[in-house]
Structure 1
Amino acid sequence: MASSNKRCKISEDASIMPHLPDDIVEAILFFLPVKDLTKLSVLSKRFRHSWKFCKNLSFDKKFARWLSTPGFAYLVTKCLMDRNDEKIHRLHLYCDPLEILNQVRLWIDNALFLGVEELELDFTPSKEKFLLKSRLILAKNLKSFKVLVVKNCKDILKININAPKLRPSRNFHLLPHPKNVVIGLAYVRILTVSSTFLEGLAPRFEDGEFKELFFCLWNLKEFHLLVKKESFVNPYDVAVFLKRCIRIERVFIDLADYSFMKSLYWDLQGKKALHEGNIMLRYVKYVKIKGYMLEEMPSAMGRFFIKNARNLETLVLVKAKKYDYMRIDLPSFMRRGVTTNAKVEIYEYLKDKNTIFPQHL
């Protein structure tokens, strides 16, 4: 009887807003987790299908606590498959993926299709290792993707990050709240990122001064940067990032046409900071810059490694396709004013004979 009275009381509360327009109701439902919407659909005919409006699909530990594995899989599948292409904001899964392997892969694939922005995978209930295929999360699907959380994955050795659809600037970054971001890639040894990602970690102007985001990639040995056309990332951004990679040994930088675009930030802050800064790369032995042009920033990038990587053995410069400058002794130009034993190798476009390439290729 008490349960019946409780249901009637909640039902009365749910009918407080019987005449609100559907668009306002949908806006309210947008912020509710799927667990609350499921309860609401039982209490009122009007909200029978309210869960279809939910964009916060949090199938977390609390949601799964009283459900069997088949019951959990049924509800997740129903919520994801019966949406009529409605976009979702967040998907959080807490389960043992080995028991429902095919469903988990289908859920992730469907979430990406629905434009998910935040994907949190918590597979801690599993006692066995679960291999998530990297092809499930492809760059071409990441048009609105902002956050990926993967818990209890200590065997990650390589991460490739590419965000081709994002267009950040000094005022709009890939990481909109850097103070709340913790980069814990402690086990990563090989990292490939686009310039878009690096811009999100770049120093920025706050409270009247330029501030850096603190992080450290302790075990990173190889870094591969893909600088996109007309990117505003600059050599100082690269230097600041590498400063946080204290064991870095090999660096590969691929420059597209018109990379390293000049900016007010570079002219007023970056250039001076790169020249006067004391960023030492103790373990860097090999650097390759592809798409090199005899221009200010690509040259500043090369000279930075000659000057600051004291144990550098080889600097390779592969000229850009449109390289069209008068003959100049590039090795001497790079070493000018610096005492170094590093070799400087120069190759024409598509004629790179050096045998060292990024490990992921």
Structure 2
Amino acid sequence: METTCVIPKPRLNEEEDIDGNSKSLGKLPEEVLRHILSFLPIEDAARTSVLSKRWEYLWASIPNLDFLLLRSAKRDITLFMNFVDRVLSLRKSSVIKRFTLCCYVILDASRVSTWISATVRHKVQELRIELHDCKGVFSLPYCLFTCETLISLHLDMPCILKLPTTICFSNLKILTIENVTFSDEYLTQQFFSGLPVLENLKLCRCGWGHLKVMRISSPKLHFLSIVESHVQTSSFKDGCRVIIVGGSLKEFHYNGCLFNDYCLHESFSLEKAEIDTFILDKSKKNGYRMYKLLSSLSNVKFLKLSNGVLEVLIYATKLLPRMPMFNNLVSLLFDGLSVDLDSEALLNILQRSPCLEKLEFLAGIALSSNCEEDDWVLDPVPSCFLSHLKYIKVDTHDGNKEEFSAIKILLKNSLVLEEMVMTCTEYTWSFDEFEHFFSNVEKNLEKHSNLRKQLEELPRGSQNYSLRFYKSFLKKYWGYRGTV
């Protein structure tokens, strides 16, 4: 009788690998183990202390510490604070690379200050503090503002930040401040002047309180983003005058309602800018502020504007003829809502951009039929249309009369155009009406096919270019190449 003998495979113990060598996880260098544990949430890393005596305190010296508290029960808050205390008390001399404290409930301010001081003693490099229930005046430990190892700092606290008299972040390169209100003009100025190597600065929904003038000046600042609150945050009716000295600035973003007055000086190296505004108070004052801000961006190569920029510039009509030349501008994008090709502000920008190569309307373009019939909309024709403009893109294209009129003008006057791209609107169908899907597709295809034929028959300035229709729903496009 034939029998089968099953020999079980030997089980590997903690000290042996498949070859019998002593290369288990527990034999890895402590530096490697700490690196592995740093990918775990701090609570899970702490649970590894039960594995062996060697692992008992290993977790306490991992380089990245991230603490998050969402629940507001008193017991949870107490446990959380005790846990943070324990983690920091167990650390010896190991460096803290990243420390994150994110709380949506009120904590003991003195405990928070103690934790931050501990991270500074452990030579913290990246510090992120988010205290979403913070109110009133709040102080951070003085040692933070002279921390020599800090490279990245993120503060998100809806409070009035009390600043110390001595501030010097000698190695800080990345700074993000959200929802903070500054109240002392002198100390705030000291704060933004004590950043000798800062490269990236983001100010989001910050308030300027009683500040009339604020100056941002950092010799190595490359990127600056300012997002204003939707409500006035300055105590003064005219807001705060924010002066930005950007000798090394490469990229600038602004989003807001122009509650404050912004101006860039010495922005010779600026290459890219994005301005998104939604003006609630359409007045000459805001028109002048936008004119001044846009004028200080005259050196950019890439410029993205919302349609709100053009709308508010209407209130600075007398200043538009004095707008500087955008001699370096090669790419101009408009977003937000459909742009009127007859906009005086748009025409002034185009006529002052002699080297423009790329023009995009990400939310569509329109022109009234009266303007088309008068044929004065591009008189004089911007010089870039005659010598440099090679690419035009119109998104959310649906073939209405006003849009067709605008495209007609663009095609007629673009003498060196190489490619025109139009992204058509999605098909109007739903899963509840699935039986109508294919008929709707057929109708849309027929509609856009007819539109393409009309465009092919339009007078054109360029004799050889690509005309493309993209359909976002089908993930395909129809193409027409050659003489149009």
Q: Which residue of structure 2 aligns with residue 137 of structure 1?
A: 227
Question: Which residue identity does 1:248 align to in structure 2?
Answer: L
1:347–1:269 CA distance, 2 compared to 1 (3 A): closer
Q: Which residue of structure 2 aligns with residue 222 of structure 1?
A: 331
Matched, 1:279 2:374: no
1:252 to 360, 370, 375: 360
> How far 1:291 sits from its partner (Å)?
0.5
Q: Which residue of structure 1 aligns with residue 350 of structure 2?
A: 242
Q: Which residue of structure 1 aligns with residue 413 of structure 2?
A: 308
Q: Distance in 1 between matches of 2:466 and 2:352?
A: 25
Q: SS at 1:155's partner residue?
A: coil
Contact 1:225/1:253 (<8 A) preserved = yes
Q: SS at 1:334's partner residue?
A: helix
Question: Which residue identity does 1:234 align to in structure 2?
Answer: D
> How far 1:345 sits from its partner (Å)?
0.9
Question: Which residue identity does 1:220 align to in structure 2?
Answer: L
1:157 to 264, 268, 271: 271
Q: Deviations over 1:257-289 (max 9, x none)?
A: xx74x8xxx576686354562314120101110
Q: Distance in 1 between matches of 2:269 and 2:288?
A: 28
Contact 1:116/1:145 (<8 A) preserved = no
1:337 to 448, 453, 459: 459
> How far 1:165 sits from its partner (Å)?
5.4
Q: Distance in 2 between matches of 1:118 and 1:322?
A: 52
Q: Distance in 2 between matches of 1:119 and 1:301?
A: 43
> How far 1:189 sits from its partner (Å)?
0.5
Q: 5+ residue gaps in structure 1? A: 1-68, 75-79, 84-89, 355-361
Contact 1:236/1:274 (<8 A) preserved = no
Q: Distance in 2 between matches of 1:345 and 1:91?
A: 57
Q: Distance in 1 between matches of 2:374 and 2:316?
A: 15
Q: 5+ residue gaps in structure 2? A: 1-162, 169-180, 231-254, 429-443, 478-484
> How far 1:234 sits from its partner (Å)?
1.0
Contact 1:121/1:151 (<8 A) preserved = no
Q: SS at 2:355's partner residue?
A: coil
1:303–1:309 CA distance, 2 compared to 1 (3 A): same
Contact 1:284/1:311 (<8 A) preserved = yes
Q: Deviations over 1:290-337 (max 9, x none)?
A: 011212221122222211110000111111236857354434422413
Q: Distance in 1 between matches of 2:228 and 2:403?
A: 30
Q: Which residue of structure 1 aligns with residue 394 of structure 2?
A: 289
1:99–1:177 CA distance, 2 compared to 1 (3 A): closer
Q: Distance in 2 between matches of 1:338 and 1:162?
A: 33
> How far 1:252 sits from its partner (Å)?
1.2
1:102–1:292 CA distance, 2 compared to 1 (3 A): same
Question: Which residue identity does 2:419 align to in structure 1?
Answer: T
Please show how residues 178-193 of structure 1 align to structure 2 within 5 Å: 183-193=295-305
Contact 2:305/2:334 (<8 A) preserved = yes
Q: SS at 1:188's partner residue?
A: coil
Q: Deviations over 1:14-60 (max 9, x none)?
A: xxxxxxxxxxxxxxxxxxxxxxxxxxxxxxxxxxxxxxxxxxxxxxx
Q: SS at 2:447's partner residue?
A: coil
Q: Tell me the C-alpha RMSD between the 2 structures.
A: 4.7
> How far 1:223 sits from its partner (Å)?
0.7
Q: Distance in 2 between matches of 1:101 and 1:181?
A: 25
Q: SS at 1:130's partner residue?
A: coil
Report the TM-score, using the length of structure 1 for normalisation: 0.55
1:160–1:330 CA distance, 2 compared to 1 (3 A): same
Q: Deviations over 1:193-231 (max 9, x none)?
A: 10010223359877xxxx954322111100110142xx6
Contact 1:314/1:344 (<8 A) preserved = yes
> How far 1:143 sits from its partner (Å)?
4.2
Q: Distance in 2 between matches of 1:91 and 1:198?
A: 36
Q: Deviations over 1:61-101 (max 9, x none)?
A: xxxxxxxx974869xxxxx6559xxxxxx999766846257
Contact 2:193/2:216 (<8 A) preserved = no
Please show how residues 1-361 of structure 1 align to structure 2 within 5 Å: 71=165, 81=182, 97=192, 99-100=194-195, 112-113=206-207, 120-123=214-217, 128-134=219-225, 136-137=226-227, 142-164=256-278, 166=280, 168=282, 174-176=286-288, 183-202=295-314, 212-215=320-323, 216-228=325-337, 233-237=339-343, 238-255=346-363, 260=366, 272=374, 274=376, 277-280=379-382, 281=385, 282-321=387-426, 326=447, 328-335=449-456, 336-338=458-460, 340-351=463-474
Question: Which residue identity does 2:331 align to in structure 1?
Answer: E
Q: SS at 1:225's partner residue?
A: strand
**Identity over aligned residues, as a percent?**
15
1:341–1:322 CA distance, 2 compared to 1 (3 A): same
Q: Deviations over 1:118-152 (max 9, x none)?
A: 875352xx6x4234542x53687724534212322
Give the number of equivalent residue pairs: 257
Flag the structure with more relative contact order, 1 or 2, with Cα contacts below 8 A and sequence separation at least 6: 1
Contact 2:418/2:464 (<8 A) preserved = yes
Q: Once structures 1 and 2 are overlaid, which stretch shifts more, 320-329 or 301-310?
A: 320-329
Contact 1:203/1:213 (<8 A) preserved = no
> How far 1:342 sits from its partner (Å)?
2.1
